[in-house]
Amino acid sequence: MATVDSIIQGVSVHGPLNDQTRKILNKDAIAFLALLHRSFNARRKELLQRRDIRQAELDNGVLLDFLSETKHVRDNDAWKGAPPAPGLVDRRVEITGPTDRKMVVNALNSNVLTYMADFEDSNAPTWDNMVNGQVNLYDAIRNQVDFKQGEKEYKLRKDRKLPTLIARTRGWHLEEKHFTVDGEAISGSLFDFGLYFFHNAHKLVKTGTGPYFYLPKMESHLESRLWNDVFNLAQDYVAMPRGTIRATVLIETITAAFEMEEVSICVQDYIFSVIKKFRKNPNFVLPDRSAVTMTVPFMDAYVKLLIKTCHKRGVHAMGGMAAQIPIKDDKKANDAAMNKVYEDKLREVRAGHDGTWVAHPALAAIAAEVFNKHMPTPNQLFVRREDVHVTGNDLLNMNVPGTITEEGIRKNLNIGLGYMEGWLKGIGCVPINYLMEDAATAEVSRSQLWQWCRHGITTADGKKVDKPYAQKLLREQADELASKAPKENKYHLAAQYFFGQVTGEDYADFLTSLLYNEITSVGPAAKL
């Protein structure tokens, strides 16, 4: 059997290490990451190439449909997902946020049932963020995460059971350039999963839960199958029974929505994916973002199909995230915002969702009030939604009432610039107009702007959206935001990247991929 020292031959760590991060990136953990990379990276890259092939088909006018080759899976009513694991039976309120130490403590102290520790959309993947985030979760699981910041102490509460921890990895498309194996950057997904699982899996089981994950941005059941193979190898490697790992797949791409049953595990936001995949098709142009609510035809169909599919297979169907932030200095505005949270959560629980997300601890009580009142049971897996019959055309129904306005364009520009500016400073989610904006909302904004310009849309007041007009508004918004921010802001750098993304010409696969090199600093290899 190969030794650890022989396995880590060919591995280089190009980010700084200290005593804290070395306990995470020790030789045994590094060897495990190298094994994951060598076992699965070739397949990962093949699946990413399949995405490009499918995108080319969609660009040529092909529409999506349910797969004929997996019809037997959809038609077989007998198979079920695994029963809910310990700590995941009741998920009525989940909080989500990045893995900085303060957030970890505050999230685990919140009145929620689970905490999704996010290495993805609400996190900027600087080396410090990724590695220290692992340190913070490692310490939290061992109840040694307490710390002092100035005069304030942050301590885990001891008066009740803490929320179940679920880690969200980066998507298959992202890499971790600071960690290379045989000269090749490791997948960000495998890096995040590997470190969290290797160090914490057995400890989590001992404390009554287990190694649980959220998996984002998948586009097919083949990508889900790859994760399953990763899980099996990982569990075998640490002598853990298969099935101990549990995962919730975020159904946030239109392609995955057509493969829900094949993927078999469920949830969330995918407006960005619909625009992205059909951005060259004029029949898929949507109005201002504010008009694209969860009740428009294609979103309503997606939600109904998700709940029906999940409950048919015996797994949770989670709702969406309340991104509102309390407005402390305006009671009227705050009451209106909190009422919107209440109404959104009421719609979700009545539709049959088993739980929902919040981004701020203050919203947990509102979500809990709604779900406690309308869901007295731990979940609603018994709500089968057999009244639902969703077709492929329903998922592609773009009949969305509304107009495109200059105000909507400027709002999109502000959200895109605001998020990108924060990301360039190493911050993965930013408050804008009392909403917590992350990568998903920035991508919707960017993709709408690209689409409107590409198809030469005319605004409600008669202005044609073309390249000069889009770039003029972008310059104006960047100048305005920069003028109100501290001198060291990065709005104009964000605008440089954004210029090519709003004209209907170049289209980066993801904003995060476009900006990644700006927040990485690949130095000399550290001594292992």
Q: Which residues are marked as active site?
A: 168, 438
**Structural element, H or E, at residue 152:** strand 152-154
Report d(CA 218, CA 373) in Å as an integer: 34
Please answer whether residues 137 and 196 qualify as being in contact, where contact means their C-beta atoms are separated by less than 8 angstroms: yes
Token pair for residue 131?
């590695």
Radius of gyration of the chain (CA): 23
3-state secondary structure of 458: strand
Beta-strand pair 184-187/246-249: unpaired
Nearest alpha carbon to residue 268 among 251, 253, 284, 285: 251
- Per the listing, tokens 């009525």 go with 92
**Structural element, H or E, at residue 478:** helix 467-483
What are the start-end ranges of the H helices in 253-383?
Answer: 254-257, 260-263, 271-277, 297-312, 331-351, 364-374
Spatial neighbors of 381 by CB under 8 A, at least 6 apart, are: 311, 314, 315, 316, 354
**Structural element, H or E, at residue 149:** strand 147-149
User: Half-sphere exposure of 115 toward its Cβ, with a 13 Å CA cutoff?
Assistant: 24
